[in-house]
Amino acid sequence: MILRKRNKPLPLQKYEALQARLPANSEHHPLIERQIEHATRGYQGELHTDKYLTIPSTRFTILKDVCLVSDKQTFQIDTIVITPNALYIIEVKSLRSNLTFDTNLDQFITGSGNRQSGYNHPITQAKAQKLKLQNWLFEHNQPNIPIHIFIAISAPSTIINVIGDHEKIANTVTHSENIPWKIIEYEKQYTTNQKYQHQKIGHVLLRRCKDFDLDILTEQGILPGQLIPGIRCHHCNHLGMKRWVCPSCQYNDRMAAIKGIDEYLLLVKPWVTNKEILNYLNIDSRYTVSRLLKKHPRLQYSKRRRRWERIQV
């Protein structure tokens, strides 16, 4: 059973919206483009790995894109698979170059020949997540279920090299398509009669899970007033749609203004006034703005605060 599905990451949505609303000569574009490329590659790698998890999903409990808070610290896990015997953490790596795990020096290297780079060791990172998840389960009075970690390499063309203990790396690191069979092999090792209520543990995690988010305007040092106003065409990214038709590509989207309100709530803050949307979408009619806000399915008006606020689902 898949309890939590994977959605497009909020930081990626924010970077894509921000990219379209900055002047063409903005100094922020190179960094934003790199962030979009990195986040997109990671997201696609996670979706690729998800395809192979359809095999165990009928027997086990699966949560994707898990974000929890333990001891006032936020931590993320790409995928959690819970069975009657154990819990499995799956961390996805979407690196296309050759990978080298050096167990002698405890190093993780990408590339080959003269073009090699060192990165944070994914196994060390996964072990830290395991410890944080164990603490979280203890804090929420959950059973001391065994936890195993896997590093899923999403690109089939990526070559995995090992210097040192091959078996140590092979037990944890593999290509995405092998993950279900790894889990099944681990399951065969459990002969104890003690079984865990995997669906119950999954629902406890689900209730506390949230979407990982970043305040990218603050991170990039950008003020809301620096964003170019207008209704954005989500087909070609042109700003300045009129009567829901893009003058650049002729794309027709009657929900473009609603998407623009969502974009403001995503980029700037989770509440908005009529005047702010009037300026952000560059609409000259107060009546049109009022009608759009009333029509928005995920907004409600707060008379006390005199603003429109996002409905908490």
Place of tokens 């009022």: 290
Side-chain-side CA neighbours of 126 within 13 Å: the count stands at 20
Residue 98 and residue 119 in contact, taking contact as beta carbons nearer than 8 Å: no
CA distance 232 to 260: 7
Residue 142 and residue 191 in contact, taking contact as beta carbons nearer than 8 Å: no
CA distance 199 to 81: 10
pLDDT along the chain (313 residues), means of 10: 95 94 93 96 96 84 96 94 97 89 89 63 94 97 97 94 94 96 93 91 96 94 93 92 90 94 94 96 94 94 94 74
Phi, psi of 27 (to 5 degrees): -70, -15
Residues 6 or more apart whose CB falls under 8 angstroms from that of 19 comprise: 29, 32, 33, 36, 237
Please tell me whether residue 303 adopts helix, strand or coil conformation: coil
User: Which residue type sits at 143?
Assistant: P
Q: List, as own/partner pairs, every contact residues 304-311 make where C-beta atoms lie below 8 angstroms and the sequence separation is at least 24, other chains included.
A: 305/271, 306/273, 307/271, 307/272, 307/273, 308/271, 308/272, 308/273, 308/274, 309/270, 309/271, 310/265, 310/270, 310/271
Please list the alpha-helical segments (H only) found in 114-197: 122-139, 166-170, 179-188
Q: Region of 54 please: left (phi>0), alpha (psi -120 to 50) or beta.
A: alpha
- Helix 10-20 vs helix 256-267: angle between axes, to the nearest 10 degrees? 110
Size (the chain), residues: 313
Give pLDDT, residue 115.
61
Give, for 266, the enclosing helix (H) or strand (E): helix 256-267
pTM of the model: 0.91
CA distance 14 to 269: 12
CA distance 41 to 142: 34
CA distance 228 to 185: 54
Tokens of 270: 């989770």
Give, for 63, the enclosing helix (H) or strand (E): strand 61-70
Residues 6 or more apart whose CB falls under 8 angstroms from that of 180 comprise: 52, 53, 55, 56
For 225-256, the DSSP string reads GGSPPSPBPTTT--B--BTTB-TTT--B-TTH
Rounded to whole angstroms, what are the CA distances from 119 to 74, 95, 130? 22, 11, 20
